[in-house]
Structures are given as structure tokens and as C-alpha cells.
Amino acid sequence: MQRLIAAMVVAGVLVIFGPTAPAGAACPMPTFSYKYKHGTVEFAEHGVTARVRVEIADTPAAQEFGLMCRTSMAPDAGMLFVFSSIGQDPFWMRDTLIPLSIAFIDFRWHIVALLDMAVAPDPATTDTIYSSPKPYLYALEVNQGFFVQHGIDPGAQVTFVPEPSTGR
């Protein structure tokens, strides 16, 4: 029964957040073992509310790996990076196989910058970086175009709702 439940959980994560690169692909798999926490990010702007189901990257290893090796992601999914201090460290697209948009979010949960990040011609060797012009504490990566499609601009208020812990 536990194996069936585990298989159902893995299948659900793949449907929501997309598969990683197929076996034998050049994309490296993480060398860390990490079970992502989940939650929902909500935006309220111009009378419209948009929601994104997120995996939370809150450790240095999870932040470094991010969305690498994913071949797709559901339209309402993303990854929320939660940092321990305010900074302006850049992001990269190494081994990232889907085009992304990123929102840099300050400590008051307001978007300070939005950027589109393209898949590099050779994702395994890219050195292109994407930087916020302003300090941030959180960053949200979503499918490229999400913010434009939902009318979300810099200055928008962001709300994060963590998923209750199951204690497992």
C-alpha cells in the first residue's frame, strides 16, 4: 500500500511540475536528496487574482538545482526561492530546458523586477545570468509569459500560502 501511495505522489508531482530530462540525457540529476515543500503564491493586481502552485527551494542545494532538467511545467506551476537574507545574486539557465519568467520579490512581498529568461542554445554550457536591479528576498520562476498573460507588473502585491505539513 505504501508503494502505491508513493507511486501516486510521484505521478502527481510529474503532472503538476513536469518530468525531468529522460534517462541518458546530458542534463545532470541532483546529487542531493530533497523533498520540496509546496504552497501557493497569489497575485492581486488590477482587480484580478492569479495563483501559482509552487515547489519551495529553501536550501542552497535546492536553489542551485532549481528547475534544471525539467522538460515541461504546468501552466500554473512554479518554483519559489526563499533566501535567508536580502541580496541581488543573479540567476542562470544552466541545464534549464524550458523558457522561464522570474519575479524578484522584496521582504514586503512586492515584486521589484520581472525578467524573461530564455533557454540557451547549449543549456549545458551557458554562462548567461539574469540579475535584479533591486535587492530581493524571494524569487519566483514560472513559465515564460505568465506575468504578461495575467497582467502582473512590478509593484504587485504577492501572498504566499504554505501547504500544511503532513508530518511525513
pLDDT per 10-residue tile (average), the chain, 168 residues: 33 42 52 77 84 94 86 95 95 91 97 95 86 97 96 94 72
Residues 54, 41: Cα–Cα separation, whole Å: 7
- Ramachandran sector of residue 50 (left: φ over 0; alpha: ψ -120 to 50; beta: rest): beta
- Residue 125 has a pLDDT of 84
Residues 66, 92: Cα–Cα separation, whole Å: 10
- Residue 110 has a pLDDT of 96
- pTM more than 0.85: no
CATH topology classification for 2-162: Jelly Rolls (2.60.120)
- Residue 50 has a pLDDT of 92
- Residue 91 has a pLDDT of 93
The SS3 of residue 52 is: strand
- Residue 62 has a pLDDT of 87
